[in-house]
Amino acid sequence: MSRYPAEGESTPARPRRKRVVLADSRAPVTVLRTVVELEEQTSWAEEVVRGFIRTQFWTAVRLALIIAVVFGSLPLVFFLAPGLSGVTVAGVSLPWLLLGVLPFPLLFGIGYWYNVLAERHERDFVDMVEK
């Protein structure tokens, strides 16, 4: 720091080239009032966030219910209709197809669907907040 002339010194300081940083490049492009409001938990923000959480929750519950109904009914169906294991499709007993093959694409499909829905809800929320 000693290279800088102290204030009130007589030697005329050559103006030094300075880099002026107006904003951190990592900072958000615009400082958004709504985001600040969210952070400060105004009553509006609280309501909006609560609604958003509810949307995400019920999406997840609905998809979980599909799985619960499908897998929950299988043991009961097998119990009530023991003849099913005699049915063969392409040489494999039907219950084995239902338990050994079908669940995996189904689980992945539901997971994929949830991912799409959840990301869409998040985009909508961000759009609403940043509008």
Partner 1 sequence: MELNLWAVAAILLVGLATFSLGFRSSRLASTTQDFLVARRTVRSQRNAAAVSGEYLSAASFLGVAGLVLKDGADALWYPIGFTAGYLALMLFVAAPLRRSGAYTLPDFAEARLGSRGLRRLSTAFVVFIGILYLVPQFQGAGLTVHQILPTLPTWVGGALVAVVVIVNVFGGGMRAVTVVQAFQYWLKLFAIAAPTFVLCVLFVGDGGVRGLGATGLSEAAPPRFTADTAVNVETDVVLHVEEPVWLTITGRADSANADGVAFWGPGTHTVDEGTELRFTAGSATPVVQGAPSDNRTWLSPVTGSGDLFTTYSLIIALFLGTMGLPHVLVRFYTNPDGKAARRTTLHVLLLLGLFYVFPMLLGALSRIYAPELLVSGRTDAAVLALPMKIAPNTLGEILGAITAAGAFAAFLSTSSGLVVSVAGVLSTDVLKGRVRDFRFGTALAGSVPLLLALVLRPSDISLSVGMSFALAASTFCPVLLLGIWWRKITWVGAAAGMLVGGVLVLVSLTITTISGYTGGWAPAFFQQPALATVPIAFLVVIVMSKATQGKIPPDTNRIRMRMHAPDRLGFIRDRDVARFGTAEERSRLANGRHRR
Residues that bind partner 1 (CB under 8 A): 24, 26-28, 35, 38-39, 41, 45-46, 49, 52-53, 56-57, 60, 63-64, 67, 71-72, 74-76, 78-79, 82, 84-86, 88, 93, 95-96, 99-101, 103-105, 107-108, 110-112, 114-115, 118-119, 122-123, 125-126, 129
CA distance 13 to 75: 88
CA distance 86 to 67: 25
- Three-state DSSP at 92 gives strand
Determine the length of the chain.
131
Q: Least distance to partner 1 from the beta carbon of 14, Å?
A: 32
CA distance 118 to 87: 39
Which residue lies nearer to partner 1 by CB, 5 or 46?
Answer: 46
Q: Least distance to partner 1 from the beta carbon of 20, Å?
A: 19
